[in-house]
Amino acid sequence: MQGDSADVTGHYLHSAPGPAPGEAARAPFALPRRAVGLFVGCCTALVGFLYFLTVGTVLGPALLWPRTRRHALVVLTGGARRLTSWERRRRSFFFGDRFPARHIAGQRILRYLATRTYVGMLTGIVTGLLLFGVVLAGLLLGGVVRGTLGWQELLTQVLLGSVLLFLDVQGLFSLEAFDARLARECFGPSERELLQQRIDELATSRAAVLQAVDAERRRIERDLHDGVQQRLVALAVLLGRARRGRTPEQADALLLQAHKESQEVLTELREVAWRVYPTALDNLGLQEALGGVSDRCSIPIRMDLGLTGMLPPSVETAAYFIVSEAVTNAAKHSTASAISVDVRQHPNLLVVQIEDNGVGGANAAGSGLNGLVSRVDALDGRLHVHSPSGGPTKIIAELPCA
């Protein structure tokens, strides 16, 4: 494959595992780090409560008077915005949340900080109860060691403590989830922005599909004009010469050559028809169609197909052409000696991976792979191209099946 980019990623897959567009991308951080972030959130909630208590009390008369309310809100919102920026950094550092850079309205800031303060202080109370339970468990264990606690009383305390521990931990998880949802609603894009983003993506995808269809038509026209048509002209010339042959031996030789030319025309016409749409997809399925790609390639291909069920026709077609075009590009440009194709079917996803041991340097924005990007975009899929200089080149297409 050919190009100048080492690592590119195509269209975002909405149905693939991971956050939806506009949501916080939350990394799988370790539980201790998240626990520290929860404790820091309790402290920042206390700071927010003190801010509202002091500044709100000072600005209270100005907030009640209509003539000064606007300026007082500006002052109150300015401090709240700084505290909110701390919360945003806390969510990013301890929980791995990622939010788009955008301006947030003042009233939205105040609502978020007030709610976050309430949730943080409630989390602090629940955490305090958990620590208090740990202390009581230590005292209970000390009573067991000293022998001052009977087994019946110990069993009662253990059962009661286990229930309270379960409720306490569940409460902490619920409060943390609510805190994360608050951050997404405040810092993330609104429903209208998400809808507009989706409309833009669909418009871009539609334009790419139309361009891909036009490019495919031009390629078919070139194949017919430069290949099949020229061979048919040559066949007609041979037949004309055979008709005008002066001797039977010369006519037989020309007819033999014309027969050979007609076979080559049929082979090339069959290749063009196969590249337009392989009938094996409808008759035999994706596995047999990919087997045809392997048979026609001049480079050895190792096929590993993990197809466990029926696929939508659009997904089968896209997967076939992705493999076919990637293998064709590798055979033309990569100087590879081996190609591997791996197709894996998941419950709602088909993952297609093509890898070759060529020179690398493939560019997803170039003409060779642009068709792949368009096909993946048309299905709301995701395309990864990793092709460092010197190789190997790995192309991964993720196609939603739902």
Q: pLDDT 10s per residue in the chain (402 long)?
A: 444 343 444 443 333 333 333 333 444 457 888 888 888 988 999 999 999 899 888 888 888 888 888 888 888 888 888 888 888 888 888 888 777 777 777 788 888 888 999 999 999 999 888 888 888 888 777 777 777 777 777 788 788 888 888 888 898 889 888 988 888 888 877 667 778 777 877 777 677 666 666 666 777 777 677 777 777 887 788 788 877 767 787 777 878 888 887 877 777 776 666 666 666 676 777 877 788 777 777 788 888 888 877 888 888 888 888 888 888 888 877 788 888 899 888 888 899 999 888 887 776 666 567 777 777 877 888 888 888 888 788 889 898 886
Q: Residue 358: its pLDDT value, please?
A: 82
Report yes or no: 310 and 276 within 8 Å, Cβ to Cβ. Answer: no
Rounded Cα–Cα distance for residues 393 and 367 (Å): 16
Rounded Cα–Cα distance for residues 123 and 178 (Å): 11
Radius of gyration of the chain, Cα coordinates, nearest whole angstrom: 34
Helix (H) or strand (E) holding 25: none
Q: For residue 307, which phi and psi values (nearest 5 degrees)?
A: -95, 120
Q: Residue 280: its pLDDT value, please?
A: 66
Helix (H) or strand (E) holding 181: helix 151-187
Rounded Cα–Cα distance for residues 25 and 19 (Å): 6
Q: What angle do CA 347, 348, 354 make, to 5 degrees?
A: 95
Rounded Cα–Cα distance for residues 82 and 106 (Å): 12
Instruction: Determine if the peptide bond prior to 392 is cis (ω within 30°).
Output: yes
Pick left, alpha or beta for residue 25 (phi over 0 → left; psi -120 to 50 → alpha; otherwise beta). Answer: beta
Q: HSE of 90 in the Cβ direction (CA atoms, 13 Å)?
A: 24
Q: HSE of 334 in the Cβ direction (CA atoms, 13 Å)?
A: 32
DSSP, collapsed to helix, strand or coil, labels residue 135 as helix
Q: For residue 216, which phi and psi values (nearest 5 degrees)?
A: -65, -40
Rounded Cα–Cα distance for residues 281 and 44 (Å): 60
Q: Is residue 327 exposed (0-12), middle (13-18) or buried (19+ Cβ within 10 Å)?
A: buried
Report yes or no: 385 and 398 within 8 Å, Cβ to Cβ. Answer: no
Residue with tokens 């590119």: 8
Q: For residue 205, which phi and psi values (nearest 5 degrees)?
A: -65, -40
Going by the DSSP 8-state scheme, the letter that residue 343 receives in this structure is: E
Rounded Cα–Cα distance for residues 26 and 187 (Å): 14
Q: For residue 297, which phi and psi values (nearest 5 degrees)?
A: -85, 140
Per-residue CA distances from 14 to 188, 221, 315, 347, 350 (Å): 17, 35, 15, 15, 14
Q: Where are the domains of the chain?
A: 7-11+284-400, 31-188
Of 254, 192, 268, 244, the closest CA to residue 22 belongs to 192
* Helix axes 313-329 and 367-378, enclosed angle (nearest 10): 170
Q: HSE of 99 in the Cβ direction (CA atoms, 13 Å)?
A: 25
Residue with tokens 């110990």: 154
Helix (H) or strand (E) holding 84: helix 66-95
* Sign of the four-CA dihedral 48, 54, 56, 57: positive
Q: Residue 190: its pLDDT value, please?
A: 64
Residue type, 92: S
Q: Does domain 7-11+284-400 have CATH number 3.30.565.10?
A: yes
Rounded Cα–Cα distance for residues 320 and 105 (Å): 49
Q: Residue 122: its pLDDT value, please?
A: 92
Report yes or no on whether pTM surpasses 0.85.
no
Report yes or no: 348 and 315 within 8 Å, Cβ to Cβ. Answer: no
Q: Residue 25: its pLDDT value, please?
A: 40
Residue with tokens 């590993």: 304
Q: HSE of 298 in the Cβ direction (CA atoms, 13 Å)?
A: 9
Would you give the distance in Å from CA 160 to the centre of its chain?
46
